[in-house]
Structure 1
Amino acid sequence: MLFTESTIGEFFEEQVRNEPDRDFIVYPDRNLRFSYQEFNERVDDLAKGLLSIGITKGDHVGIWARNVPDWLTFLFATAKIGAVLVTVNTAYKSHELAYVMKQSDMKALAIVDHFRDVDYVETVYDLVPELKTCKRGNLKSEEYPNLESVIYIGQEKHRGMYNTSELLLLGTHIDRDELDRIKKTLNCEDVINMQYTSGTTGFPKGVMLTHKNILNNGYYIGERQKFTEEDRVCLPVPLFHCFGIVLGVLATLTHGGTLVMIELFDPLLVLAAVQKEKCTALYGVPTMFIAEFSHPMFEMFDMSTLRTGIMAGSPCPIEAMKKVIDEMNCKDITIAYGLTEASPVFTQTSTDDTIDRRVSTVGTSMDHIEVKIVDPETGEIVKPNEQGEICCRGYNVMKGYYKMPEMTEKAIDKDGWLHSGDLATVDEDGYYRITGRIKDMIIRGGENIYPREIEEFLYTIDGVKDAQVVGIPDEKYGEIVGAFVVLNEGSDLTPADIRDYSITKIARYKVPKHIFIVEEYPLTASGKVQKFKLRDMAVELLENKDE
């Protein structure tokens, strides 16, 4: 029996009745807080505002924004009227935004002013010049025939766009009965959220997720951390990704807790938020945690209220994990593994697991989800501790990729198993270890080389802070091993030093032929290293070296 068959709107309203006055959302740097009741009222007004401009069940509403407070209002408002929230990566630029708007058949797009060096308002005007001449809500765009409205999240007015204040006001003129009527037509199996895979390889695909997918996954993720209504979760990861929405928002909501939001990751803001709001849980990718405990002002902040949290997105160096446990007081930190297509988590460690299991595995399978490891060539289940592709089946598997039936069939087999493309092993106790991606595997002269194994080795070298290993095209061997290494501050290690040491410690064919010392890696907005960009960089660096 699953935890809930409710829609997100129904479940949220139940929590409002249970805990109307408890803090639901806090923005410490804005001194802004909403109780469950206050936030629900704002959500209802925005939901009615969306209805007033013609958005209803099944329509696709894009959101392209930092973690501003009304991001979450849009999340719950669209859920209450059965519209599909299409989350757009904040790091996207005009080419990528154009692709998502078109591919998703977007009817409305909500935006903020900018992110880093990209002016969102000007980007949208460049893509949709008709906005400046069309009446609001009656947009007719040649390039984007489905797009009818653009909404600016904020007070400012922009030609051709609604702003959130106007929508909230419009919502007060819509009869409550209209919202209630639509809510009665919704079902937990409806697609409610569409997330575009982060694009570490190939064209982004729109992953269709249902109320049932993400609400239940959020609950079981919170259970692994032993969440209660007393938990206060500091969330500095972007909301456009499953990490933010499911692991963060829905894991907290399903346990009646409080979300402490960070609009844009900054280690100092995170440390200040944890202290000010007495957070009990902290989320992030490994690079975020490293930035926090490495900050020169770290010692000035009180981390004593922290207990648990989640580290996910990429493998964590063991030394970094020990610091998070010992110095940040996250004694019960958990590791989660999954992918957007799986809503996203299907294995996770628990607070009771030993430190060794929390640093060397991604835990055991989640409740109500089957997990298996198969030989990528034959599809046969492999023996314990043998490497193969990790697959899952259960309530959490996506409905499919939007308008990509062939890609959906490749990802989900006829028996309902979702194929991750990730390589893993499982031990006799059911603990899974991720060893790399099938596509990341390097084949050097017929030898299969798994980058994760070499990366773990490189972490052990004194002076190495982080390492990423990729295959570099080679005429003789097909591929050779390349490594991009970030050094600790003050380290004077050279590529030759690393290579000479490696020769003495690992098989010769695994030793990186080329080592590049870098200060940082190209990352997706959700913190994943873009290995295909590292491969391109390696080729370019070697070509320049030969000239």
Structure 2
Amino acid sequence: MPHLPSYVHGASAQPLLGETIGALLDRIAATHPERPALVVRAQAVRMDYRAFHAEVERVAAGLLALGLQRGDRVGIWAPNRAEWVLLQFAAPKAGLILVNINPAYRAHELEHALHVVQCRALVLPRRFKSSHYLELLHELVPELDAATPGALASARLPELREVILLDDEAAHGTRLWCELVGLGDTATLAHLHEAERELGFDDPVNIQFTSGTTGAPKGATLTHHNIVNNGWFIGEAMRLTEHDRLCIPVPFYHCFGMVLGNLACVTHGACMVIPGEGFDALATLETVAAEKCTGLHGVPTMFIAELEHPRFAEFDLSSLRTGIMAGSPCPIEVMRRVVGEMHMAEVTIAYGMTETSPVSFQTLPEDPLERRVDSIGRVHPHVEVKLVDADGRIVPRGEPGELCTRGYSVMLGYWQDEARTREAIDAAGWMHTGDLATLDDDGYCRIVGRLKDMIIRGGENVYPREIEEFLYTHPKVLDVQVFGVPDAKFGEQVCAWVRLREGTQASEAEIQDYCRRRLAYYKVPHYVRFVDAFPMTVTGKVQKYLMREAMTTELAARVDD
């Protein structure tokens, strides 16, 4: 008997939600006004849904009072804070488009992001850890020192008008967050409510940066409909209710924190619990125990760090029930420990990509443990998926093919980039993910490889071409190839093979330091090798898989020694 074709669709009796983010929050706050909405331990913030809704409206009204208009872009370049969550809901309520900027970005990457989407406003803290955000912004916008708030005129970023500082101490040319909130008075709130009536759920609401083979980050543009519904069905798969309290240590700038975390909670009236600005295993354990969290998100490396923490046994985690592990494959022994030692019997695995809002496959609590490790689950409601060969034909079940998805979750496109949008989304509306997968006869999907050489390091997507193009700016580098090698802790590490210009010498540390000054930490090559040539095909194409094999053998031999 021939195998079924590798095509599945998420037939569901549950209808899609036809709401904007603002309308969703209005409904949830009216239904659960006294339920806890947001807890941010590092900032001593506690809000129920009534208070959270009111504060979101003040921020939204304040943004309109600044003169921002429907469709304007507002960037947030910050770690996990209460203001991030408030802005996530306030910007779309005001008809604005929130632009997520990775807090690990340096000046080079920040400039590209702000320039591509022409941000009118930027929200940032003065600093976080080793990142001095205001100083990095000054490198790009020296005019800030002489500007008055709201009247910035930058040569390099001419669209940028407002800089809003998450700080208690003002700086030249900036406006404090508290000032923004203070603008949300009775008159501006009335203006907000009037403006909201013009919004539709197909309006763009969020831009998240991803990258591709050309290396330059692209702005995946998502709508209310995309992320409201994805958050809703993610929460449904987790069996969330208004009685749940979800600990979210994953970053908000990424879909994991923003959609799988915040929106999954708000669509169900659950509480968002934020343990800190960045991931810290001890803070996460303390938060779960103190707040009696019922759910916990993380990439496998986060769960490993929590399980291996020397004080792990001190914390009562018996309130935990569910959560999501995503970002990279989970070893079955880690999953067993998460279920057994962290009490997360209903933990789920999710798969997706930024361009699909993001989740298209997810396991369910009733799935056997083995299926929650060896697969990414079954297709999400209202989503179609097919696996195709190089000629676009659907492959039989069990055979690998490129995973393509279609439905409500597919992005509008890459911001003002029709060419690359058409490369990703075909004429029939299928999003081509670049991932190779198999589907079994029960509909469970496994990711078996990638068409492109994207590296997943600890849940962060790293695109070799971007690093290669940057390293070409080093005066000693003649040629470079970047690829991933297996790593027990992070899943993969970044490796660079470098050909130096004749007569020059360089060290591994020199190349790493050059990258560290201008690129996010997770993009810095962990390994650097200097070579005379790269393995090539007879037609002159570089064979990265041979480099990967050679490095993997070298690293394995080092461990054996």
TM category, shorter: 0.7 to 0.9
Match of 2:438 among 411, 414, 425: 425
**Aligned residue for 1:181?**
194
Q: Aligned to 1:114, what secondary structure does the other structure show?
A: coil
Name the structure 1 match of 2:174.
Answer: 161
For 1:539 and 1:309, locate their aligned partners in 2 and report how far apart those are by CA, in whole Å. Answer: 43
Specify whether residues 277 and 540 from structure 1 end up closer, same or farther in structure 2 by C-alpha distance, changes over 3 A only: farther
Matched residue type, 1:342 = T
Question: Counterpart in 2 of 1:288?
Answer: 302
Cα deviations across residues 324-360 of structure 1 (Å, max 9, x unaligned)?
A: 1111111111000000000000000000100010010
What are the equivalent positions in structure 2 for 1:417-496 lying under 5 Å apart? 417-440=430-453, 483-486=485-488
**Superposition pairs for residues 241-252 of structure 1, below 5 Å?**
241-252=254-265
> Structure 2: where are the runs of 5+ without partners?
1-13, 465-480, 491-514, 535-550, 555-561
AA aligned to 1:395 is: Y
Structure 2 CA distance for aligned equivalents of residues 483 and 191 of structure 1: 37
How much has 1:92 moved relative to structure 2? Answer: 0.2
**In structure 1, how many angstroms separate the alpha carbons of the residues matched to 2:483 and 2:124?**
42
Aligned equivalents of 2:215, 2:529: Cα separation in 1 = 19
1:219-368 equivalence runs, <5 A? 219-262=232-275, 263-368=277-382
Q: 1:537 aligns with which of 528, 538, 553?
A: 528
Compared with structure 1, are the counterparts of its residues 198 and 113 closer, same or farther at alpha carbon in structure 2 (3 Å cutoff)? farther
Taking structure 1 as reference, are residues 258 and 541 closer, same or farther at Cα in structure 2, changes over 3 Å only?
farther
Matched AA of 2:322: T
Cα deviation, residue 266, structure 1 = 0.3
State the Cα distance separating 1:131 from its structure 2 match. Answer: 1.3
Pair 1:367–1:149, CA change in 2 (3 A): same
**Residue 409 (1) aligns with residue 409 (2):** no
Q: How do residues 496-515 of structure 1 correspond to structure 2 at under 5 angstroms?
A: none
Compared CA separation, residues 356 and 38, structure 1 to 2 (3 A): same
Does 1:382 pair with 2:395?
yes
**Equivalent residue for 2:120?**
107
Aligned 8 A contact 1:314 1:528 in 2: no
Say if 1:115 and 1:31 are closer, same or farther in 2 by CA, change over 3 A: closer
Among 77, 96, 100, the alignment partner of 2:109 is 96
Q: Distance in 1 between matches of 2:163 and 2:482?
A: 48
- Supply the AA of the counterpart residue of 2:296: L
Give 1:419 shift: 0.4
CA distance in 2, matches of 1:323, 1:529: 27
Identity of counterpart residues, as a percentage?
44
**SS of residue matched to 1:537:** strand
**Contact residue 482 and residue 538 of structure 1 kept, 8 A:** no
Kept in 2, the 8 Å contact 1:49–1:174? The answer is: no
CA distance in 1 between counterparts of 2:75 and 2:411 reads 19
Please state how far the C-alpha of 1:311 moved relative to its aligned partner: 0.5
**Which amino acid in the other structure matches residue 302 of structure 1?**
D
Map of 2:37 onto structure 1:
24
Q: How far apart are the structure 1 equivalents of 2:173 and 2:331?
A: 49
Quote the offset at 1:175 in angstroms: 3.4
Kindly indicate whether the alpha-carbon contact (under 8 Å) linking 1:64 and 1:87 is maintained by their aligned counterparts in 2: yes
Letter in 1 for 2:147: C
SS at match of 1:385: coil
Aligned counterpart in structure 1 of residue 144 of structure 2, from 116, 124, 131: 131
Give me the TM-score of the superposition, normalised by structure 1: 0.82
Q: What secondary structure, in the 3-state scheme, does the structure 1 residue paired with 2:119 have?
A: coil
CA shift for structure 1 position 234: 0.3
Distance 2:304 2:88 in 1: 30
Instruction: State the distance in 2 between where 1:541 and 1:346 align.
Output: 43
Deviations 1:153-206 (A, max 9, x none): 232201100011111112226433211110000000000000001679711100
Distance in 1 separating the partners of 2:357 and 2:151: 35
In structure 2, the CA distance between the partners of 1:324 and 1:399, relative to structure 1 (3 Å rule), is same
Letter in 2 for 1:61: V
Q: Distance in 1 between matches of 2:258 and 2:482?
A: 39
In the other structure, the counterpart of 1:215 is 228
How far residue 319 of structure 1 moved from its aligned partner, in angstroms, is 1.5
Query: Is contact 1:350–1:363 with CA below 8 Å preserved after alignment?
Result: yes
Question: 1:61 touches 1:83 (CA, 8 Å); kept in 2?
Answer: yes
Measure, in 2, the Cα distance between the counterparts of 1:246 and 1:35. 20
Given the alignment, which residue of 184, 188, 206 partners 1:171?
184
Q: 2:329 and 2:50 mapped to 1: Cα distance?
A: 39
Aligned partners of 2:406 and 2:430 also within 8 Å: yes
How far, CA to CA, are the matches of 1:120 and 1:481 in structure 2? Answer: 29
Q: Which one of 86, 92, 97 corresponds to residue 99 of structure 2?
A: 86
Which amino acid in structure 2 is aligned with residue 74 of structure 1?
A: L
The superposition leaves residues 445-494 of structure 1 with CA deviations (integer Å, 9 ceiling, x where unpaired) of xxxxxx99xx9xxxxxxxxxxxx9x9xxxxxxxx9998444489xxxxxx
1:219 counterpart SS class: helix
SS in 2 for 1:171: coil
Cα 1:122/1:174, change in 2 over 3 Å: farther
C-alpha contact (below 8 Å) 1:2/1:216 kept by paired residues: no
- C-alpha displacement of 1:47: 1.1
Query: Any stretches of 5+ residues in structure 1 without a counterpart?
Result: 442-450, 456-467, 471-478, 489-521
Aligned length: 476
Maintained 8 Å contact 2:64/2:188: no
Task: Report how far residue 31 of structure 1 moved.
Answer: 3.1
Q: TM-score, normalised by structure 2?
A: 0.80
Query: SS in structure 2 opposite 1:167?
Result: helix
Change (3 A) 1:167 1:15: same
**One-letter amino acid of the counterpart of residue 144, structure 2:** L
Per-residue CA deviation, residues 24-73 of structure 1 (Å, 9 max, x unaligned), is 00113433201111111111111111111111210000000011111111
Query: Match for 1:323: what amino acid?
Result: R
Q: Which amino acid aligns with 1:292?
A: E
Stretch of structure 1 that moved more, 189-198 or 171-180: 171-180
Q: Aligned residue for 2:498?
A: none
Q: Any conservation in 1 of the 2:104–2:521 contact (CA below 8 Å)?
A: no
Aligned counterparts of 2:204 and 2:529: Cα–Cα separation in 1:
41
Q: Distance in 2 between matches of 1:333 and 1:355?
A: 9
Could you tell me which amino acid in structure 2 is paired with residue 334 of structure 1?
A: T
CA pair 335-138 structure 1, distance change in 2 beyond 3 A: same
| Shift in alpha-carbon separation, 1:392–1:482, aligned structure 2, 3 A | closer
